[in-house]
Amino acid sequence: MTQVLAHYRPEDALANAHSWDLGTEGTKGRAKIAAHDRDAVELFALTVAFLTSESDRGAGVSEHTLRAYHTACGLLVDWATERGKNLLRLTAKDGGLFREWIAARGVGPATTNLRLAGAKAVLRALVWAEALTVNPWADTKRRRNPSRPQDQRDHYTTREIGALHTACKDARERAIIWMGVEGGLRVSEIAGARWDALDCETGQITVTGKGGKIASVQLGTLALNALRELRATATTDYIFPAQACSLGRPREREDPNLSTARVRDIVTSVAKRAGVEPRGVHSLRHSCGTFLAERGEDIRTIQEHLRHADPSTTARYVKVAQEKLRRAVHGLGEEFVAADLGGA
């Protein structure tokens, strides 16, 4: 796709949805033309209209989700063009072929499955518009991840976190790093953080999380110290105003807060200055879960702090900590015996 996805705003989504309200035949006709012409821009607009109208979040679908679907839509069109596929005549077998085409591009199972989910959303949108009668890829299986679940949590080590802290140039960068490490916040939660949602006395901040769920999250001392420093000079309602970023990327929107992409840029920049391999903002959250498990916190406490709906997600952090302890203890007694014999 050549079009760059602009910042996603609910009002834009509603306007887009209304533009597809052309009556049954009008919507169907427009959708069929988009599919026949493999028009990625129109297909994505259709997908946004479908999600806005049919999802339980309405126009509140996250920017992160929309960006993922935007990428997937472009890849679906690229695949169909390369293979000479008619998007209105896809088969169930084509779903598996698309999944393996994505995997062959050198991405991991998680990214492959994300792209597949986005492509499925496009086809669901075509069904919604009645351009298709059924979604041919509804039963296409996800790609299996051969690595163990506990090995899929890529976190920063304590030494690397210390290096990130030292490499921060100002309070803004420290706040972003420690809101991720201590608070376990997601990138969208950091980007959209507001001053009126922060209670410095209790150390809690209210965020809108995954699935639009509102929750209060406990922050740690280092995050709060950085936030207090920022608050002394704050001039907007947002903790991280857009105009505060100067990483060379042009402003692509007029919204008052940093985009998630810019928050990722900041973390990557800090990591490079620290001499640490950049692993993204979400790895700060993984670090939070891992460190809590290594400190011996119970699984319920970690689950509540990270706001995992499924406790099996939290259990992965505990398994990592258990394996680290197992490696540390293994052979420990033999070392004492060897030391005793050596001194005999």
pLDDT digits (tens, 9 = 90+) for 79-114: 999 999 999 999 999 999 999 999 999 888 888 999
Q: Is the domain of 18 the same as that of 135?
A: yes
Residue from 191, 209, 164 nearest 305 by CA = 209
Question: For residue 47, what is the domain's CATH number?
Answer: 1.10.150
* CA distance between the termini of the chain: 74
Cα 39 to Cα 42: distance, rounded to the nearest angstrom: 5
Is 339 a domain residue? Answer: no
Q: Longest Cα pair distance anywhere in the chain, in angstroms?
A: 92
pTM above 0.85, yes or no: no
Residue from 171, 166, 92 nearest 132 by CA = 92
Rounded percentage of the chain residues whose pLDDT exceeds 90: 54
Paired tokens of 183: 């608070």
What pLDDT does 247 receive?
A: 41
Identify the residue whose tokens are 């376990």.
184
Cα 39 to Cα 76: distance, rounded to the nearest angstrom: 11
Cα 224 to Cα 221: distance, rounded to the nearest angstrom: 5
Q: Is the domain of 109 the same as that of 141?
A: yes
pLDDT for 5 beyond 70: no
Residue from 182, 183, 163, 179 nearest 171 by CA = 179
User: What is the average pLDDT across 302-312?
Assistant: 87
What pLDDT does 1 receive?
A: 46
Q: Is the domain of 198 the same as that of 315?
A: yes
* Listed residues 146, 176, 195: the one ending a domain: 146
Q: Is the domain of 138 the same as that of 156?
A: no
User: What is the average pLDDT across 147-170?
Assistant: 79
User: What is the average pLDDT across 237-244?
Assistant: 82
Is 249 a domain residue? Answer: yes
* Listed residues 87, 120, 146: the one ending a domain: 146
Using 50, 70 and 90 to split pLDDT, how confident is the model at 295? confident
What pLDDT does 176 receive?
A: 97
Paired tokens of 151: 């090995």
What pLDDT does 146 receive?
A: 58
Q: Is the domain of 141 the same as that of 162?
A: no
Is 3 a domain residue? Answer: no
Q: Is the domain of 321 the same as that of 174?
A: yes
Q: How many domains does the chain divide into?
A: 2
* Listed residues 146, 172, 199: the one ending a domain: 146
Cα 98 to Cα 72: distance, rounded to the nearest angstrom: 11
Tally DSSP H helices, then E strands, for the chain.
15, 3
Average pLDDT, the chain: 84
* pLDDT-wise least confident of 19-33, 237-251, 275-289: 237-251
Using 50, 70 and 90 to split pLDDT, how confident is the model at 51? confident
What pLDDT does 84 receive?
A: 95
Residue-number span of the structural domain to which 109 is assigned:
10-146
Q: Is the domain of 125 the same as that of 231?
A: no
Is 338 a domain residue? Answer: no
